[in-house]
Chains A and B, each alone.
Chain A
Amino acid sequence: MISPSAYPWAEGETLGQHLDERGIPRRDFLEYCGKMAVILGIGSAAAPRVAKALESVKRPSVVWLQLQECTGCVESVLRTENPSIGDLLLDVISLDYNHTLMAGAGKAVEKAKTDAMAANKGKYLLVVSGSIPTKENDIYTMIGGKTARMQLEEAAEGCAAIIALGACAHWGGVQGARPNPTGAVGVRDIIKNKPILVVAGCPPIGDTVTATVVHFLTFGALPEMDREGRPLFAYGERIHDQCQRRAHFDAGQFVETFDDKGAREGWCLYQVGCKGPATFSPCPIFKWNTRTSWPIEAGHPCIGCTEPYFWDTMTPFYGRLPDVAGFGIEKRVDTIGASLAIGAAAGVAAHATMTVLHQMKRRKATRQVPEATEDEGANNG
């Protein structure tokens, strides 16, 4: 992926010129712009605008920090569709620093990073994947002799905008799940004074990242975001409302176990814990690994990885509702609720019996009152 040496993007050269030099047909470029315009939700009619903006872009600088993370996000972004241009945009042409992908190592690459940041001060795009550990004076992640927090603050200082990539940079990720031993937090908890866009997911879909970069290059700003900071063009709809198995949900056809008839028929995975109804993500549309498939298509329920704190809030992954604490492992809310309701009904039955017996006794006792009083008129004293 990082193979810029053959065709280095010269200083001052525009993307259009650079693509020409690399022998990328203009037809491919326009096709790519059209796809990006559609993904961004501005319509394919806007493709010429995207193309015009993109081809006049001078070499943008992207610095990609990887903090406390598993590199899964990098793996995912490598699998963008149409790598000839997507890779170019994101990696070859613009990526000045990414410690997993770059060939260099040690002080030289740290210097390359600080040089790129100094040369593009106020203009470069900062991509961050991984969380920032905050416990024990931030010691849990050290890169180039600096803590993750120092790395982030240093790189954020002169950037134009930040893309927080993946669940870790979003809210802390799996290491930020309870009990969060390292005190992992997301980028937005550390950096307050920069525009931050969250490409949520564990990992996110690569196309979302390239589309966001295209938007940034075309319009000079981050796309419209939701409350979480996620771009609306990708995270504006629930999985449940875009799902190819939705018809089975509405029809009342559900997979009960992973080997039943419903599972073979491709029915809705609601009953086996699908979190699609609580998850905003473009998975059903963008799909994964160059549009090969996505979890629900493959027969696995959504685990809600684009939602904050999903390790805590979306578990159990194969149950519809969170476990109720303190009532044993398998006791779900229905078991408890139904038991209480049956208990109430039984209590009512017992109480009714008791009341009837009591009343019968009482009335029998009152009946001993001489019948004479019956006709003595109002005797209410």
Chain B
Amino acid sequence: MNVTSDRSARHPPGAGFLEHFGKPVPRERGDFTWVYLWGAPLRIMHWIAAVCIAALVISGLYIGRPYFATAGEASSHFMMGKFRFVHFTAAAVIVMTGIVRVYWLFAGNAFERLPALFPVTPRNLLNMWRVVRTYFNLHTEEQPHFIGHNPLAQSAYTGVYLMMVVMVVTGFTLYGQSNPTGIIYHSLSWVPALFGGLQIVRLVHHALTWAFVIFVVIHVYLAVRADYVERAGVISSILTGGRFVSSSDHFEDLDLSTGHPHPWPKE
């Protein structure tokens, strides 16, 4: 049991707000250093994508099933038109974030590069299992600690990237239908054939919307939970780019003595 990596033990429950209200907060132990993890492009794209996904889901659900109607003359309304405008604009912006992210797969640090997307070593599969157990509050003493993403989180994020690719391809296929002489229509003309018809493309695009909703619910929850349980500052890291670590911390993916990152240990 590696007590030192358990931040809850280091920040003893005595550090609760009520017990210490009006009293000096106990001095932190260990020498803390700030480790810079996520480059500015990654963080900025994360938040742009977050806003876009919110806009895309809300407008997409209206386009898929208009949940309210307008009354009166058609000429005095443009409700669907506005939702579609928001949807297509957000789609273009999220494609931009995707392009930056692809660039960053090659220009980023060890935790951001392409190989980091695929936690496929045997040790990581074991760690993934341990993370799952931890989420059920079982064998928490065996919880592996990661300065970057744990293998389960990384698998989810890689899955979301793939979902985004499918969403962009199917979405632009549907968008391109309005201009059958245009480049979008022609460059994506293989998509309906691949899916077995435009309606299936539409169905996949629609169904994956819900997958994003589900992802956001779980993602936000687990991020908040990690901060609450582990007090590791992960939410802060997507704003500032870094986390505080103590020299006594032990991470699976970072050798603190040498500062050498190794996202997916093989041994």
Contact = CB atoms under 8 A, between A and B. Distances in A.
Interface string A57-98: 000000000000000000000000000000000000000000
A374 B203 contact: no
Contacts of B203: 321-322, 324, 333
Nearest to B5: A380
Interface stretch (A4-12, A117-125, A214-222, A348-356): A348-356
A252 B68 CA distance: 8
Interface stretch (B44-52, B101-109, B207-215): B207-215
Contact of B12 (A227, A247, A366): A366
B202 interface: yes
B117 to A, nearest CB: 24
Contacts of A309: 196-197
B260 interface: no
Interface size bracket, B side: 35 or more
Interface in B15-51: 16, 26, 29-30
Contacts of B68: 252
Given A250-B80, A313-B196, A236 B180 contact: yes
> Which residue, of B30, B68, B70, has the highest number of chain A Cβ atoms within 10 A?
B70
B8 interface: yes
Nearest to A347: B218
A227 to B, nearest CB: 6
Interface in A216-246: 226-227, 236-238, 240-241
Contacts of A271: 65-66
Contacts of B181: 236
B77 interface: yes
A251 B137 contact: no
Q: Which 4 A-B pairs have the closest CB atoms?
A: A337-B210, A252-B79, A313-B197, A363-B13
13 contacts: A236-B181, A247-B74, A275-B199, A278-B177, A278-B199, A312-B197, A333-B210, A334-B206, A351-B221, A366-B12, A371-B14, A378-B30, A381-B4
Given A338-B210, A341-B213, A380-B10, 13 more contacts: A252-B68, A252-B69, A275-B199, A277-B174, A321-B202, A322-B203, A334-B65, A334-B206, A355-B228, A359-B8, A362-B140, A367-B13, A380-B29
